[in-house]
Amino acid sequence: MSKEEKDTKITINETEEEEDDHSGERKAGWVLPIFIIGLLATCYYIFVVELCIFTVQLLEAKVTFLVIFHLLFLLCVWCYLRTVMTPPAVPPAKFRLSESDKQLYLSDERPQVLQEILICAAKDLPIYTKDPKGDVRYCTTCQVLKPDRCHHCPVCNVCILKLDHHCVFLNNCVGFSNYKFFLLCVTYALLLCIFTSAVSLHFSKLFWTHQLPNSPSKVPIIVLFCLSTFFSIILFLFGLGHSELALTNVTSREDNDDTSDDTTEENNPYNLGFGKNLREVFGNEKKYWFLPIFRSLGDGFSFPMGEATEDIEKNAAFAKPPNEGI
């Protein structure tokens, strides 16, 4: 057996071991999303009932707090559910091998012959990214040629277009079909936490300075302040990192894995400039930018390059993922 064939078999064995490692993660996938929903419900109860209804005395302040809180809360939950429930976009059928090519591929073990089959199959496809060895990228699990920026998620066990990362708090992958929803979810969650932290801090100070009489609501409001402040810091740092990635048109996968794509900050072929990068994610119609409605540009498997002379509307068209709905 040649060295290349041994390397191929080792790679297949490592892939199978990796799948086994993630099987437990798939089974326990809904634990953290259920925890997040429970945490949101708890914070909702404390803010609405313990703080606004039982503690706030002025009607004007009570109404103002409730209106702002419910607006941010509903937007946050809407974006969260859209991110969780939107199925990841997968490579279309044209990236699969034909039956004849598949039979040839499965009947041979020589890496050079296998590459020739893949090169022939990919010659008419918009594939420019190669693996570190310079070979055409092919997923043996999904049996699909990998488009640019497409990667296999071992947890979801599927290849996903423009994969950013797998999020355990969503039990879903963040990619082409739901990246806009994810960014909006982080943004509205941050605004909600900052607002909740500021209001609960004010009334916590009133309790501590004895300007309000002690009541059963004191402890829940202080707990609410601690939770919302903690998550404000976490979400701010998290959102800051993802804002930088979105503005430069880089995914988390590309940012963390130098061998996946040649998308370093100095040499990023997908960087079209801040404005066009944002329009790739949020779409051309700014009236939909702040709503979790899919308006991202492109098809998820071909991308305009920074050197392109045409405008982004000519390089990318509107494309709705399967079963898309508002």
User: Active-site residue numbers?
Assistant: 167
Tell me which DSSP letter residue 200 carries.
H
Beta bridge partners of 173: 166
Lookup result for tokens 């979105």: 246
SS3 readout for 101-164: HHHHHHHCCCHHHHHHHHHHHHCCCCCCCECCCCCECEECCCCEECCCCCEEECCCCEEECCCC
Quote the CA–CA distance of 65 and 68 in Å, as a whole number: 5
Distances (CA, A) of 140 to 35, 129, 143: 35, 17, 5
Dihedral pair phi/psi, residue 172, rounded to 5°: -160, 160
Distances (CA, A) of 116 to 123, 293, 314: 11, 42, 33
Lookup result for tokens 């509307």: 313
With contact defined as beta carbons under 8 Å apart, do 163 and 173 qualify? Answer: yes
Which residues have C-beta within 8 Å of that of residue 7, sequence separation ≥ 6? 111
Distances (CA, A) of 236 to 35, 142, 281, 295: 21, 36, 20, 25
- Tell which phi-psi region holds residue 273, choosing left (phi > 0), alpha (psi between -120 and 50) or beta: left
What's the helix, strand, coil split of the chain in %, to 5? 55, 5, 40
Dihedral pair phi/psi, residue 96, rounded to 5°: -90, 150
Quote the CA–CA distance of 75 and 99 in Å, as a whole number: 46
